């Protein structure tokens, strides 16, 4: 039965709408101590224990700790601290119109890959892509009317032609910077992963990614806030096979 869920966010702007909507409070004393920069929040949503870990801010620049390294660290430490039944990689992403994405859409991940971890050596090539299936939730997706597709992670907001080639080969629906690293940490603990991603920009569109991202970040975060409580309600008390 799903009794405890951990949501992993990279950015404060992505996490705060849900934290406020569910009335979650920052864990005190901290469940994860420094020097790890991540911050955790906990509370209840009906009968479900809900925990949020946000990657925190970089001490030198003051910006959110985005990317795969902070995400894997936050997930590893939070899974150790909370022992959740399911982890959700939640946040914003670029979407591919070729896979039916539009700004504001919310996608459930079917699998995750890395598009910028290219290691052309025997077996290391497969390791680099890091293909990992997400928890299958066909009933939840159908009931909530969400789109679905492969989620691809990389450590740059932009991308190379080779990145696009890899994403095309895997029919990637949304591109972001954390999910594959979160999956790596989840797989260490054999904890199932869901990805819930709201689209801020169109990767295969005609506008600069950075421009669209900044323009649509708060609207996409609001779409997440509207969707995630419904996802949690659908999960509460159910077996994984019932999702």
* 3-state class (DSSP) for residue 194: strand
| Nearest-angstrom CA–CA distance, 230 and 243 | 13
Q: What percent of the chain has pLDDT over 70?
A: 100
β 39-45/132-133 pair status: unpaired
Q: What percent of the chain has pLDDT over 90?
A: 94
pLDDT value, residue 208 = 87
pLDDT value, residue 96 = 97
Q: What average pLDDT score do residues 149-173 get?
A: 97
First to last CA, the chain: 11
Q: State the maximum Cα–Cα separation within the chain, in Å, rounded to a whole number.
A: 49
Q: What average pLDDT score do residues 89-103 get?
A: 96
Tokens 């019932």 -> residue? 242
* 3-state class (DSSP) for residue 137: coil
Catalytic hit among 27, 116, 176, 201: 201
Q: Which two tokens stand for residue 172?
A: 């990637």
pLDDT value, residue 199 = 97
pLDDT value, residue 161 = 95
> Model confidence at 168, in pLDDT bands (50, 70, 90)?
very high
Spatial contact of 91 and 176, defined as CB atoms under 8 Å apart: yes
Which CATH fold topology does 4-242 show?
Rossmann fold (3.40.50)
Structure confidence by residue, pLDDT tens digits, 43-60:
999 999 999 999 999 999
Structure confidence by residue, pLDDT tens digits, 102-132:
999 999 999 999 999 999 999 999 999 999 9
> Model confidence at 204, in pLDDT bands (50, 70, 90)?
very high
Q: What average pLDDT score do residues 141-148 get?
A: 96
Inform me whether the pLDDT recorded for 200 exceeds 90. Answer: yes
**How many DSSP H helices and E strands does the chain contain?**
7, 10
> Model confidence at 209, in pLDDT bands (50, 70, 90)?
confident
pTM: 0.96
Catalytic hit among 14, 176, 178, 212: 14
* 3-state class (DSSP) for residue 205: coil
Q: How many CB atoms lie within 10 A of CB 34?
A: 8
234 annotated active-site:
no
Share the mean pLDDT of the chain: 96
pLDDT value, residue 75 = 98
- How do the domains of the chain map onto residue ranges? 4-242
């Amino acid at each position: 039965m799903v009794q405890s869920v951990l949501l992993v966010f990279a950015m404060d702007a992505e996490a705060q709408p849900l934290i406020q909507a569910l009335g979650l409070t920052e864990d005190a004393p901290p469940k994860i101590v420094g020097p790890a920069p991540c911050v955790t929040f906990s509370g209840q949503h009906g009968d479900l224990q809900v925990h949020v870990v946000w990657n925190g801010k970089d001490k030198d620049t003051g910006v959110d700790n985005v990317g795969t390294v902070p995400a894997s660290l936050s997930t590893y430490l939070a899974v150790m601290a909370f022992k959740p039944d399911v982890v959700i990689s939640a946040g914003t992403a670029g979407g591919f119109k070729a896979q039916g994405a539009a700004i504001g859409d919310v996608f459930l991940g079917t699998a995750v890959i890395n598009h910028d971890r290219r290691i052309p050596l025997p077996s290391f090539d497969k390791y680099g892509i890091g293909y990992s299936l997400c928890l299958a939730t066909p009933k939840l997706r159908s009931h909530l009317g969400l789109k679905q597709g492969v989620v691809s992670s990389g450590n740059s907001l932009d991308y190379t032609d080779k990145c696009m080639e890899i994403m095309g080969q895997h029919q990637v629906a949304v591109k972001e910077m954390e999910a594959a690293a979160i999956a790596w940490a989840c797989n260490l603990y054999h904890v199932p992963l869901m990805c819930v991603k709201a689209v801020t920009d169109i990767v295969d569109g005609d506008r600069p990614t950075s421009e669209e991202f900044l323009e649509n970040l708060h609207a996409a975060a609001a779409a997440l806030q509207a969707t995630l409580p419904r996802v949690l309600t659908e999960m509460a008390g159910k077996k994984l096979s019932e999702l």
